């Protein structure tokens, strides 16, 4: 990015912040077209940001900033497979994972799309064999349970999507083990029959200690129950490190590869999606990919101020870098998206939680916000108090489907939607002291009581939220939504001036854990650790002493 034009565009936005709408009730009252002007649709997906404190000038200035950072050029570079992940010298081509068959995507003179479809076909054949019972367990029994062992990007996407698409689930039961805490694999295997269980070991690098430790435990469990020869019938693997998979002893016909141009947190479209495919079947999985591809087309071709990922990114940047809001809450009014916030935490925070710009300098604006959330309506009965009356403003992203999958429970869905709409309206409108007083007096409360209590019943309002509204959470729509979030992260990264595709920040803790293991085991002393760490280790040993 060119420093001076960027600083000038940022300064213009920050100056404008003083004049941007402050009173959202007034903003809606003075502009009957506010919803129309600050919402866009892409087919049956609507994005509404009219309840955010922006006006036409804000959007114009944000668009200008996007042009200063050459968002369109950077977007084209990503789609074209340029090595935009400069710290790892890699292309970023997760979009190729969902490109239609026959559409060549060239990287270093090679058509990666052909490779992608080769792996998809192999996955589909394997998934069908497992789902039909053709590929049975070592004792001849049909596989009824699939346990995916992976962590981070090799876990969160499949977990989130498998749950989101539960109505389409007609394959074996899906389980996920990620944590190195032995409790996770112990509780998952309890009740499973080794003879009917398939493990998928999913790891891009095939070195991640959590995954390797859990995989070894799973292999012991199968060997103890069925003998060492059974391993080939009960394990499959997904990785870019095929040599390491071979060393683990997994039958090469059950190993599905992907490539270094797929970041872990962008990998659920690759073979990492195998547990999703096992659960919902290859046809539904292809619909999921097609949905993501439709969003890629929208992102690549739609003018900036009609482009949903761009708009979400611009509004996100406005809230984070201009308004200085430190967090954003993602609240799906869609129970089956209950793992979406956790998935987005990796996608967004591992991508944009950086303080160094792509050119190695210090970031000039705050970068990625804290992302968190829980499904509505449950969140309403937990943390919404703080969203409405806390001292910090936390922009909220609401997601909701117009239709559920349970037509006989329509009254539930209507109540769900009414709650979603009510929350965004309440955040925006708030309640004045006068309104609180009037309501209490109307209910017959004594004036002295009203004076005492009314301040507690005031809501400031003017708290920003956006809403994503879609017809139904089917595989195609889920694909569109996830690709939308991926592209929004990309847009924000360009505005922050950072590389969204590395994750050096996760390394230090891993290195220290390796050094601390012999200390925790008691084989080495804690002399090299700081006093706090040494004290904690000593206390662990004391607590373990009978």
> Which 340-379 positions form the footprint of ligand F6P (CB under 6 A)?
350
Of 384, 398, 396, 395, nearest to 322 by C-alpha is 395
Structure tokens at 277: 């495919």
Contact window for ligand F6P (CB under 6 A) among 30-38, 198-206, 308-316, 428-436: 198-206
Please, what is the minimum distance in Å from the beta carbon of residue 480 to ligand F6P? 22
Backbone φ and ψ of 466, nearest 5°: -120, 160
CA distance 264 to 206: 12
By the rule CB under 6 A, 82 interacts with ligand F6P: no
Binds ligand F6P by CB under 6 A, chosen from 51, 74, 94, 204: 204
Is 381 known to be catalytic? yes
Binds ligand F6P by CB under 6 A, chosen from 50, 113, 211, 465: 211
Please, what is the minimum distance in Å from the beta carbon of residue 501 to ligand F6P? 10
CB atoms within 10 A of CB 140: 9
Q: Which is nearer to ligand F6P, 197 or 203 (CB)?
A: 203
By the rule CB under 6 A, 205 interacts with ligand F6P: yes
By the rule CB under 6 A, 460 interacts with ligand F6P: no
Number of residues that bind ligand F6P (CB under 6 A): 14
Please, what is the minimum distance in Å from the beta carbon of residue 148 to ligand F6P? 12
Structure tokens at 41: 């649709």
Binds ligand F6P by CB under 6 A, chosen from 203, 345, 380, 467: 203
By the rule CB under 6 A, 264 interacts with ligand F6P: yes
Q: Which is nearer to ligand F6P, 152 or 195 (CB)?
A: 152
DSSP letter at 529 equals S
Please, what is the minimum distance in Å from the beta carbon of residue 248 to ligand F6P? 13
Question: Are 211 and 152 a contacting pair, CB within 8 Å?
Answer: no
Site map 107..146 versus ligand F6P, x via CB under 6 A: ----------------------------------------
Secondary structure in 3-state letters for 17-81: HHHCCCCHHHHHHHCCCHHHHCEEEECCEEEECCCCCCCHHHHHHHHHHHHHCCHHHHHHHHHCC
DSSP letter at 142 equals P
Of the residues 381, 448, 511, 521, which is catalytic? 381
Binds ligand F6P by CB under 6 A, chosen from 265, 286, 487, 488: 265
CA distance 385 to 271: 41
The SS3 of residue 145 is strand
Sheet architecture: strand order including 197-202: 173-177, 145-149, 197-202, 235-239, 255-257
Contact window for ligand F6P (CB under 6 A) among 100-108, 151-159, 312-320, 488-496: 151-159
Instruction: Give per-residue burial for 179-197: e unless 16+ CB within 10 Å, then b.
Output: ebeeebbeebbeebebbbb
Please, what is the minimum distance in Å from the beta carbon of residue 264 to ligand F6P? 3
Q: Which is nearer to ligand F6P, 75 or 265 (CB)?
A: 265
Indicate if the alpha-carbon torsion angle 243, 82, 79, 369 is positive or negative.
positive
Binds ligand F6P by CB under 6 A, chosen from 188, 197, 424, 503: 503
Question: Are 346 and 396 a contacting pair, CB within 8 Å?
Answer: no
Is 350 known to be catalytic? yes
Please, what is the minimum distance in Å from the beta carbon of residue 238 to ligand F6P? 9
- For 147-183, the DSSP string reads EEE--GGGTHHHHHHHHHTGGG--SSEEEEE--SSHH
Please, what is the minimum distance in Å from the beta carbon of residue 16 to ligand F6P? 37
By the rule CB under 6 A, 213 interacts with ligand F6P: no
CA distance 62 to 90: 29
Of the residues 63, 210, 350, 486, which is catalytic? 350
Question: Are 497 and 1 a contacting pair, CB within 8 Å?
Answer: yes
By the rule CB under 6 A, 148 interacts with ligand F6P: no
Backbone φ and ψ of 499, nearest 5°: -90, 115
Q: Which is nearer to ligand F6P, 156 or 417 (CB)?
A: 156
Please, what is the minimum distance in Å from the beta carbon of residue 265 to ligand F6P? 5
Contact window for ligand F6P (CB under 6 A) among 14-22, 97-105, 204-212, 254-262: 204-212
Q: Which is nearer to ligand F6P, 506 or 540 (CB)?
A: 506
Contacts with ligand F6P, residue ranges (CB under 6 A): 151-154, 203-205, 208, 211, 264-265, 350, 503, 506
Active site amino acids: 350, 381, 510
């Amino acid at each position: 990015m060119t420093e001076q034009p960027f600083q000038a565009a940022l300064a213009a936005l920050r100056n404008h912040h003083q004049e941007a709408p402050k009173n959202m009730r007034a903003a809606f009252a003075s502009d009957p077209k506010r919803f129309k002007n600050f919402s866009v649709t892409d087919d049956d997906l609507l994005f509404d940001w009219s309840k955010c404190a922006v006006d036409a000038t804000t959007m114009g200035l944000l668009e200008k900033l996007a042009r200063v950072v050459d968002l369109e050029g950077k977007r084209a570079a990503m789609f074209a497979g340029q090595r935009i992940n400069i710290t790892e010298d890699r292309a970023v081509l997760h979009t190729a994972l969902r490109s239609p068959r026959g559409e060549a995507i060239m990287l270093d003179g090679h058509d990666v799309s052909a490779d992608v479809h080769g792996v998809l076909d192999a996955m589909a054949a394997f998934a069908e064999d497992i789902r039909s019972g053709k590929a049975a367990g070592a004792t001849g029994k049909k596989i009824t349970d699939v346990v995916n062992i992976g962590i981070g990007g090799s876990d969160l996407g499949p977990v989130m999507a498998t749950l989101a698409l539960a109505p389409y689930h007609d394959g074996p039961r899906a389980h996920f083990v990620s944590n190195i805490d032995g409790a996770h694999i112990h509780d998952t295997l309890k009740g499973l029959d080794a003879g009917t269980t398939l493990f998928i070991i999913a790891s891009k690098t095939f070195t991640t200690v959590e995954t390797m430790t859990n995989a070894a435990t799973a292999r012991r469990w199968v060997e103890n129950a069925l003998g060492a020869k059974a391993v080939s019938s009960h394990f499959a693997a997904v990785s870019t490190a095929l040599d390491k998979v071979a060393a683990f002893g997994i039958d090469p016909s059950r190993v599905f590869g992907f490539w270094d141009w797929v970041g872990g947190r962008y990998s659920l479209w690759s073979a990492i999606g195998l547990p999703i495919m096992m659960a919902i079947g290859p046809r539904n999985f292809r619909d999921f990919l097609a949905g993501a591809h439709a969003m890629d087309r929208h992102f690549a071709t739609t003018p900036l101020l009609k482009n949903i990922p761009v708009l979400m990114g611009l509004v996100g940047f406005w809230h984070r870098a201009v308004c200085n809001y430190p967090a954003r809450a993602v609240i799906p009014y869609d129970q089956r998206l209950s793992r979406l916030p956790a998935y987005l935490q990796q996608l967004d925070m591992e991508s944009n939680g950086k303080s160094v710009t792509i050119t190695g300098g210090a970031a000039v604006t705050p970068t990625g916000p804290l992302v968190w959330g829980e499904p509505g309506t449950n969140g309403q009965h937990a943390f919404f108090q703080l969203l409405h009356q806390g001292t910090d403003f936390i922009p909220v992203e609401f997601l909701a489907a117009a239709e559920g999958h349970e037509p006989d429970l329509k009254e539930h869905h209507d109540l769900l939607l009414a709650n979603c709409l009510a929350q965004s309206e309440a955040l925006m409108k708030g309640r004045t002291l006068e309104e609180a007083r009037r309501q209490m007096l109307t209910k017959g409360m004594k004036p002295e009581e009203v004076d005492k209590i009314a301040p507690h019943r005031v809501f400031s309002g003017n708290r920003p939220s956006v809403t994503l509204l879609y017809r139904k959470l089917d595989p195609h729509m889920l694909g569109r939504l996830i690709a939308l979030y991926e592209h929004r992260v990309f847009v924000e990264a360009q505005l922050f001036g950072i590389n969204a595709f590395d994750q050096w920040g996760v390394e230090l803790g891993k290195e220290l854990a390796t050094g601390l293991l012999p200390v925790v085991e008691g084989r080495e002393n804690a002399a090299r650790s700081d006093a706090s760490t040494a004290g904690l280790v000593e206390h662990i040993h004391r607590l373990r002493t009978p």
